[in-house]
């Protein structure tokens, strides 16, 4: 069998050819090495310890399961199991469906995802940042900040129930533009039509992609790449002019300064000291006036720009032009999405917002700074105009409130003011673990919002609530009070609040989060510009887990003959370390262990589940 990395690199190279058609992808699915790599990729996710409708999960993985899957693909008898559907809460309120595929289906989806990513990733738009290697919410927000200076109108895009309404016929038609392997396409069709089970009732899936499957995000990007291409073509026809015209008043002042400079240079020896001083003073005054007015005509009708950005099914368009232009663009997008993609824009959520008002995108508020007459000095002491026209990112307070509520750290007094509350669910943890839980949540919030201009102000308020929630949780655990804890030497070190804990090397102190909450600069470089093949090879080295499975050796007894399975645990911290195999997993910091399987049930894996392995 060919090395999967070589196969995928060849796919990437062929995908770079504009007219290349892929005709023999299905045979790749016969290569067991692909499934081993797919397993190593997905095995660390906690969701794999949840069973699908067939009752199987990742624990007990072995190459026999892979062989049976490959055999069913060879004779085309493979039929995916319906996903087990459960409802999970959305950050914005309400619930969304999550499909839990069987483990074998999830494994196959990961192999298909790897193949399709090799074909399509290099063809995706640079304005698409969701579910892509080297791209994220952060890279997209950075791009908006760097590229949308002077935007006059925002169009906030929202597609109704996108993942549930993807048209299967259109999706297969899009795939068929590059893939001419009907067996491969039929397999994807089977996965799309597998259906789901909800409340023990099977329901067919006539549209949409299964949320929860590893293949779904990539298929959604392939589908919406049609919209990305349409918007790039629209931008080409909409954009007009190389730059805005000069502001006539600013140009007049510039001309006057230039003439004064020539007069000074040409007549220096002839001018008196007072005359020279007067000219220098006048030039300084003219510069001061120039810095207080725009150098360009912001209403220049000969200059237009359209900027489009998408993350998954959310998109935003920045328009430098009139409101009529923005209305026309919104209408064109709505028509394209309806007619070509069989989807629908939400009229209530697809808004046209003035550039200086706050549009909402990816949890941030985005607006363009108003024209300002003020000036400031930069780090070199040189005076320059203020931030007029620059894109500003801010943290919405409702997001902070929602975050604190979701962590059960926030309550309200009788006047509706914020108050910290204790978290009963954490009181079973050690003091240091409680503090680390809060620290981790604060770090996550900061890492997401640290591009915002007001991140320090908003997150200091959130951290204050979290700190006193932590204090109240500890006080509740120890039947004490926050005042006593703050005054206790057991919870302080050099003036900082925290908790002591024991390690093999001695007693250590876990400090409550006290790092600076400063704004970070936007990402200047788009990681996706790195060579795709180089990126792929670096990220697809053989893992330790792949090597251990291929070695056919039991991690417990050392047996090298017979069959082997992989034992999984959800979290290492759940292990108590009382048994030898638990101590081995804890010491190696691994959630997996390759164990032997014997026909008489005497293998290490059987013994472990029977509680007889020590």
Q: Choose the final residue of a domain: 462, 490, 511.
A: 511
Tell me: pLDDT of 528 over 50. no
Question: Is 211 part of a structural domain of the chain?
Answer: no
Question: Is 521 part of a structural domain of the chain?
Answer: no
For residue 99, report the phi and psi dihedrals to the nearest 5 degrees: -95, 135
Asked if 494 and 567 sit in the same domain, the reply is no
Among 74-78, 407-411, 541-545, where is mean pLDDT lowest? 541-545
The mean pLDDT value for 130-137 works out to 91
Helix (H, G, I), strand (E, B), or coil: what is residue 503?
Answer: strand
DSSP string over 324-387: HHHHHHHHHHHHHHHHHH---B-TTT-EEEETTS-EEETTEEEEEPPP---EEE-TTS-EEE-S
Q: Which of 81-90, 126-135, 466-475, 541-550 has the highest mean pLDDT?
A: 466-475
- Count the Cβ atoms, other than its own, within 10 Å of residue 131: 17
Q: Are 355 and 153 in contact (CB under 8 A)?
A: yes
Percent of the chain with pLDDT over 90: 59
**What's residue 388's pLDDT?**
65
Question: Is 468 part of a structural domain of the chain?
Answer: yes
Asked if 550 and 504 sit in the same domain, the reply is no
**What's residue 539's pLDDT?**
60
Asked if 202 and 56 sit in the same domain, the reply is yes
284 CB burial (10 A radius; 0-12, 13-18, 19+) = exposed
Question: Is 239 part of a structural domain of the chain?
Answer: no
Helix (H, G, I), strand (E, B), or coil: what is residue 156?
Answer: strand
Query: How many domains, in total, are found in the chain?
Result: 4
Going across the sheet that includes 359-361, the strands are 359-361, 364-368, 391-394
Question: Is 522 part of a structural domain of the chain?
Answer: no
C-alpha 91/C-alpha 137 separation (Å) is 16
Asked if 551 and 473 sit in the same domain, the reply is no
Among 27-36, 214-223, 247-256, 496-505, where is mean pLDDT lowest? 247-256
Tell me: pLDDT of 303 over 70. yes
**What's residue 601's pLDDT?**
79
C-alpha 276/C-alpha 267 separation (Å) is 9
Asked if 420 and 501 sit in the same domain, the reply is yes
Asked if 196 and 48 sit in the same domain, the reply is yes
216 CB burial (10 A radius; 0-12, 13-18, 19+) = buried
Question: Is 161 part of a structural domain of the chain?
Answer: no
The neighbouring-strand residues paired with 86 are 98
**What's residue 530's pLDDT?**
45
- The H or E element containing residue 96 is strand 95-100
Q: Please provide the average confidence, as pLDDT, over all residues in the chain.
A: 88
**What's residue 536's pLDDT?**
62
C-alpha 472/C-alpha 420 separation (Å) is 8
**What's residue 244's pLDDT?**
78
Overall size of the chain counted in residues: 614
Asked if 42 and 101 sit in the same domain, the reply is yes
C-alpha 356/C-alpha 154 separation (Å) is 9
| 184 Cα distance to chain centroid | 29
Among 94-98, 174-178, 418-422, 537-541, where is mean pLDDT lowest? 537-541
Which tokens in the block code for residue 74? 């060879």
User: Which residue is associated with the tokens 């050796």?
Assistant: 553
Q: Choose the final residue of a domain: 238, 270, 292.
A: 292
Tell me: pLDDT of 561 over 90. no
- The H or E element containing residue 541 is none
- Of 539, 532, 538, 536, the C-alpha closest to 124 is 532
C-alpha 228/C-alpha 130 separation (Å) is 12
- For 38, 166, 297, 345, the CA distances from 313, given in Å and listed in that order, are 26, 11, 35, 11
C-alpha 208/C-alpha 204 separation (Å) is 11
526 CB burial (10 A radius; 0-12, 13-18, 19+) = middle
**What's residue 375's pLDDT?**
62
Question: Is 216 part of a structural domain of the chain?
Answer: no
Helix (H, G, I), strand (E, B), or coil: what is residue 25?
Answer: coil
Tell me: pLDDT of 231 over 50. yes
Asked if 429 and 499 sit in the same domain, the reply is yes
Q: First-to-last CA distance in the chain?
A: 38
**Which residues does 115 contact at the CB level (< 8 Å), separation at least 6?**
8, 11, 25, 28
The mean pLDDT value for 305-329 works out to 95
Asked if 567 and 439 sit in the same domain, the reply is no
User: Which residue is associated with the tokens 């060879």?
Assistant: 74
pTM: 0.85
- The H or E element containing residue 130 is none
Tell me: pLDDT of 577 over 90. no
Among 48-62, 71-85, 123-137, 199-213, where is mean pLDDT lowest? 199-213
**What's residue 547's pLDDT?**
86
The mean pLDDT value for 476-488 works out to 93
The mean pLDDT value for 194-204 works out to 77
- For 46, 115, 257, 450, the CA distances from 445, given in Å and listed in that order, are 22, 34, 50, 8
List the domain range (segments joined by +) for residue 181: 4-121+168-206
Asked if 104 and 182 sit in the same domain, the reply is yes
For residue 610, report the phi and psi dihedrals to the nearest 5 degrees: -85, 0
Which tokens in the block code for residue 604? 């290490």
Asked if 419 and 549 sit in the same domain, the reply is no
Q: Are 581 and 609 in contact (CB under 8 A)?
A: no
Asked if 401 and 472 sit in the same domain, the reply is yes
Question: Is 302 part of a structural domain of the chain?
Answer: no
**What's residue 529's pLDDT?**
40
Q: Are 35 and 117 in contact (CB under 8 A)?
A: no
């Amino acid at each position: 069998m060919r090395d999967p990395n070589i196969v995928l690199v060849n796919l990437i190279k062929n995908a770079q050819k504009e007219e290349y058609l892929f005709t023999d992808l299905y045979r790749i699915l016969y290569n067991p090495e692909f499934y081993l790599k797919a397993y190593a990729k997905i095995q660390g996710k906690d969701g794999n310890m949840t069973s699908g409708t067939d009752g199987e999960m990742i624990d007990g993985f072995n190459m026999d399961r892979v062989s049976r899957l490959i055999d069913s693909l060879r004779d085309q008898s493979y039929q995916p199991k319906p996903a087990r559907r459960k409802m999970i809460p959305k950050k914005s309120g309400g619930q969304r469906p999550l499909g839990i595929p069987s483990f074998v289906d999830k494994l196959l989806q990961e192999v298909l995802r790897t193949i399709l990513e090799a074909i399509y990733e290099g063809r995706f738009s640079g304005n698409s940042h969701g579910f892509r290697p080297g791209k994220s919410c952060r890279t997209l927000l950075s791009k908006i900040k760097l590229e949308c200076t002077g935007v006059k109108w925002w169009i906030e895009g929202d597609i109704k129930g996108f993942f549930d309404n993807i048209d299967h016929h259109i999706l297969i038609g899009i795939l068929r533009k590059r893939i001419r392997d009907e067996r491969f396409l039929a397999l994807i069709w089977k996965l799309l039509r597998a259906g789901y089970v909800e409340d023990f009732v099977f329901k067919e899936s006539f549209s949409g992609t299964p949320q929860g499957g590893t293949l779904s995000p990539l298929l959604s990007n392939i589908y919406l790449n049609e919209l990305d291409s349409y918007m790039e073509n629209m931008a080409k026809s909409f954009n007009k002019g190389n730059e805005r015209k000069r502001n006539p008043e600013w140009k007049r002042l510039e001309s006057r300064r230039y003439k004064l400079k020539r007069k000074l240079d040409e007549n220096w020896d002839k001018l008196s000291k007072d005359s020279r001083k007067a000219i220098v003073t006048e030039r300084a005054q003219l510069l001061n006036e120039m810095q207080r007015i725009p150098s360009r005509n912001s209403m220049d009708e000969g200059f237009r720009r359209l900027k489009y950005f998408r993350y998954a099914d959310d998109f935003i368009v920045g328009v430098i032009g009139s409101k009529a232009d923005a209305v026309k663009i919104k209408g064109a997008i709505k028509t394209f999405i309806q007619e070509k993609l069989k989807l629908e824009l939400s009229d209530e959520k697809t808004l046209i917002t003035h550039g200086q008002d706050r549009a909402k995108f990816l949890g941030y508020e985005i607006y363009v700074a108003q024209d300002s007459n003020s000036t400031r000095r930069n780090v070199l002491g040189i005076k320059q105009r203020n931030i007029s026209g620059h894109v500003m990112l801010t943290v919405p307070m409702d997001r902070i409130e929602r975050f604190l509520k979701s962590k059960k750290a926030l309550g309200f007094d009788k006047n509706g003011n914020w108050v910290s509350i204790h978290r009963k669910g954490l009181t079973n943890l050690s003091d240091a673990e409680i503090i680390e839980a809060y620290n981790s949540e604060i770090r996550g919030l900061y890492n997401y919002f640290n591009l915002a201009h007001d991140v320090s102000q908003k997150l200091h308020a959130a951290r204050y609530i979290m700190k006193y929630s932590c204090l109240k949780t500890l006080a509740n655990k120890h039947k004490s009070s926050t005042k006593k804890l703050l005054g206790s030497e057991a919870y302080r070190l050099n003036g900082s609040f925290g908790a002591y804990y024991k390690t093999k090397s001695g007693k250590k102190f876990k400090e409550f989060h006290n790092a600076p909450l400063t704004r970070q600069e936007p990402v200047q470089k788009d990681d996706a510009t790195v060579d795709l093949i180089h990126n792929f090879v670096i990220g697809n080295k053989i893992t330790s887990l792949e090597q251990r499975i291929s070695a056919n050796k039991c991690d417990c007894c050392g047996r090298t003959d017979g069959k082997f399975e992989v034992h999984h645990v959800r979290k290492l911290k759940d292990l108590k370390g009382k048994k030898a195999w638990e101590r081995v997993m804890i010491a190696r910091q691994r959630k997996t262990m390759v164990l032997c399987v014997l026909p008489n049930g005497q293998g290490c894996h059987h013994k472990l589940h029977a509680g007889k392995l020590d």
